[in-house]
């Protein structure tokens, strides 16, 4: 498994992963009918950097890193992670989160914040907790889950400096 910075050409392999997750509507606040061009802009163009996790030339997961807020808040980054359903349970999200923290430090960030972790995404909540993130806020019924209705969203945060 190799994690490397993404190229524009990589999005053809990222798109099926992105589309699968967006269409499910269970973990990201993206429109379920998002177009490939809109997704490419959000995942590849807007972030400061985007990475892919690949094995034997096949992209299995991806993440982005960007500044969470400008000005006095620019020392805090935000990341988003996606793993292909075919590759889940193999530790890719853990590897990408650990990699993103190293990259964040290299880019000068002092903290990482996840703005909208869907509370019903128990695997992600457990993983982020295990990797040292604290729940610092709860947004009641802030996410409309397709089968569970309105569920809470969590704000999770980790100070990266030791």
| pLDDT (0 to 100) of residue 18 | 98
Let me know: does 154 contact 133? Beta carbons within 8 Å.
no
| pLDDT (0 to 100) of residue 7 | 97
b/e for 35-49, b at 16 or more Cβ within 10 A?
Answer: eeeebbebbbeebeb
Structural domain of 20: 2-159
| pLDDT (0 to 100) of residue 63 | 98
| pLDDT (0 to 100) of residue 102 | 98
| pLDDT (0 to 100) of residue 98 | 98
**Domain CATH number, residue 112:** 3.40.630.30
Which residue in 36, 18, 37, 16 sits closest to 27, CA to CA? 18
| pLDDT (0 to 100) of residue 119 | 98
| pLDDT (0 to 100) of residue 161 | 82
| pLDDT (0 to 100) of residue 55 | 95
């892919």: which residue's tokens? 52
Please list the pLDDT of the chain residue by residue as tens digits (162 residues).
899 999 999 999 999 999 999 999 999 999 999 999 999 999 999 999 999 999 999 999 999 999 999 999 999 999 999 999 999 999 999 999 999 999 999 999 999 999 999 999 999 999 999 999 999 999 999 999 999 999 999 999 999 986
pLDDT (tens digit, 9 = 90+) per residue, 65-86? Answer: 999 999 999 999 999 999 999 9
Count how many domains the chain has. 1
């Amino acid at each position: 498994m190799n994690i490397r910075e993404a190229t524009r050409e990589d999005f053809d392999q990222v798109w099926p992963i992105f589309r699968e997750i967006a269409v499910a509507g269970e973990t990201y606040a993206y429109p379920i009918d998002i177009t490939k061009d809109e997704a490419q802009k959000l995942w590849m163009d807007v972030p400061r950097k985007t990475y892919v996790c690949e094995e034997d030339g096949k992209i299995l997961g991806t993440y982005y890193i960007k500044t969470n807020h400008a000005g006095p808040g620019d020392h805090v980054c935000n990341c988003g992670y996606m793993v292909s359903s075919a590759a889940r349970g193999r530790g890719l999200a853990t590897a990408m989160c650990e990699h993103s923290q190293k990259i964040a430090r290299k880019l000068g960030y002092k903290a990482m914040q996840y703005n909208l972790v869907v509370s019903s995404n128990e695997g992600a909540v457990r993983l982020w907790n295990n990797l040292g993130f604290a729940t610092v806020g709860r947004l009641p019924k802030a996410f409309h889950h397709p089968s569970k209705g309105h569920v809470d969203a969590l704000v999770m945060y980790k100070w990266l400096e030791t």
